[in-house]
Structure 1
């Protein structure tokens, strides 16, 4: 089976990272993740990330670079994470779907939330860029 890509956004503002708390499905509810979603057939991962951030958070973002690596999710999906930043005038992200709370985390707060396991290596990688200690 061909693997399908799920994109996650390490959305940065200053030295803060946006974390999103899942509201569904039940087995993931209450855990935190990097916002994003599935890449549609024929869609570039970067374009999917911009689309997902608009749909899920109501913001326009610019993709900066890919975080090295990819992490297995429920087959056939794999997670790829991209660093992104809000475009000027985009407004503040809001939890429009799939999430019930958003939090901007400073470097010292990155591990204060219960991240979903596939997101942990990417958060650790981004933590290094923010000058934060890893978990």
Structure 2
């Protein structure tokens, strides 16, 4: 699985799941599955186009891998918003731009929390490590 840490004006983009039912109402970094024969960066571009209607350019992979469910790990890339304004088109019903001090303002999916913490840590002006 791939996700994008999309930054804008010192804030990180968060997406609230609307599906599947067991994840609905929880927040995540937007992204999705890598299809057969697809590079992770290509999957990220495709997923954010489908889910949010935007074009992004993957920049750097955030170090680390975070287990999701058996057989799946989450890998996150920083991504530059190239074209469009994010909108919740597929699998999400709300988007929010969160400043570092708002990191705990949403109910993140438990398995995404470590990746989100790293994304905020790398955000210019982001949260310092809290030990």
Equivalence for 1:55: 50
The 4+ residue runs of structure 1 with deviation greater than 4 A are: none
Q: Cα distance, 1:99 vs. partner?
A: 0.2
What is the distance in 1 between the residues matched to 2:53 and 2:129?
Answer: 30
Q: How many residues align?
A: 128
Q: How does 1:98-109 map to 2 (within 5 A)?
A: 98-109=91-102
Match of 1:119 in 2: 112
TM-score by length of 1: 0.90
- 1:21-75 CA-partner distances (Å, limit 9, x unpaired): 0001111100000000000011000000000000000000010100111111122
Matched with 1:82 is: 77
Contact 1:21–1:102 (Cα < 8 Å) also in 2: yes
Unmatched 5+ stretches in structure 2: none
SS at match of 1:100: strand
Q: Distance in 2 between matches of 1:36 and 1:78?
A: 12
Unaligned 5+ runs, structure 1: 1-5
What is the root-mean-square deviation in Å for CA atoms of aligned residues? Answer: 1.2
Map 1:1-20 onto structure 2 (within 5 A): 6-20=1-15
Superposition deviation, residue 134 in structure 1:
5.4
SS at match of 2:79: strand
Rate the CA distance shift 1:102–1:70 in 2: closer, same or farther, 3 A: same
